[in-house]
Structure 1
């Protein structure tokens, strides 16, 4: 188990595009059960396309405002959900979704992924890929597929 309580000033940080994840609980420290992060997203940030994966997610917005796009069932409809400080947004596994910051101020949320291996593996691989500069979409698709994440496009 990781050291408790978590010292945010010493926590690992991963950069995904313009977004920053502060790792609060790793799968190593939770026996694979969860990957918990503080997500800091600047204006215009967030994954560019709808995606889906097996793990469940839940977010609690701490600062600012995040917009969640969530697929609703088999008809292909996508619902737009705006969440502000204190709001909680649960996303069951395999639900098409994405998160964006459509405001002009940073947004911060606490997020938990369970089980955590898929999202932690993807976050680490995507951060490593981005460390080499702006990745090409073919490489992003390969990293996502390798970690069990289906990007739904358009790219």
Structure 2
């Protein structure tokens, strides 16, 4: 079933908080005719989103700083700055930050999922602010419209 996605609601220039990490949309889908979007994630040690599946887009991760373990299907990739991994659509995946902090770029193709991140974000008023609290149930409830679903808990090792 191909559901139409809600319209874009977020700011593509300013960073925001999402699930306790700092996120910025670097290239929105509106700039690529919907073919690609690019986002930057800065997360603290131990940060790990729930195991999840994107039904609508592939994902490429490029580690800029730090060490991140990616879990894609049954595979595990321990990556460092400069390394790249691929998360194909339809395959459960997640990641776990292993260094004190990590920064990565994620490219999504086709675009659109960046709107879900922006719609479920909290603004950053000062770069020294602590991450905003969030309602994980509300965030997950909005994921269906973006063909995103949770497949398990966050990885811990």
Q: TM-score range by the shorter chain?
A: 0.7 to 0.9
Specify which of 117, 120, 135 is matched with residue 123 of structure 1. 117
- For the residue of structure 2 that corresponds to 1:28, the secondary structure is helix
What residue in structure 2 maps to residue 149 of structure 1?
148
Structure 2: which 5+ residue stretches go unaligned? Answer: 1-11, 123-130
* Structure with the larger helix share: 1
Show CA shifts across 1:64-103 (max 9, x none). 01111111xxxxxx32211101111011111110011133
CA displacement at 1:42 relative to structure 2: 1.0
Q: Which structure has the higher relative contact order (CA within 8 Å, separation 6+)?
A: 2
Specify which of 96, 99, 103 is matched with residue 108 of structure 1. 103
- For the residue of structure 2 that corresponds to 1:31, the secondary structure is coil
* Inter-CA distance 132–15: structure 2 relative to 1 (3 Å threshold): closer
Q: Is the 8 A contact 2:60 2:106 kept in 1?
A: yes
Aligned length: 134
What residue in structure 1 maps to residue 37 of structure 2?
35
- 1:135 counterpart = 2:114: no
* Inter-CA distance 154–17: structure 2 relative to 1 (3 Å threshold): closer
CA displacement at 1:13 relative to structure 2: 1.1
Root-mean-square deviation (CA, aligned residues, Å) is 2.1
CA displacement at 1:154 relative to structure 2: 4.2
What residue in structure 1 maps to residue 75 of structure 2?
79
What residue in structure 1 maps to residue 72 of structure 2?
70
Q: Is the 8 A contact 1:19 1:46 kept in 2?
A: no
Structure 1: which 5+ residue stretches go unaligned? Answer: 1-9, 72-77
CA displacement at 1:63 relative to structure 2: 0.6
* Inter-CA distance 133–84: structure 2 relative to 1 (3 Å threshold): closer
Ranges of 4+ aligned residues in structure 1 off by more than 2 Å: 131-134
TM-score normalised to structure 1 length: 0.77
TM-score normalised to structure 2 length: 0.76
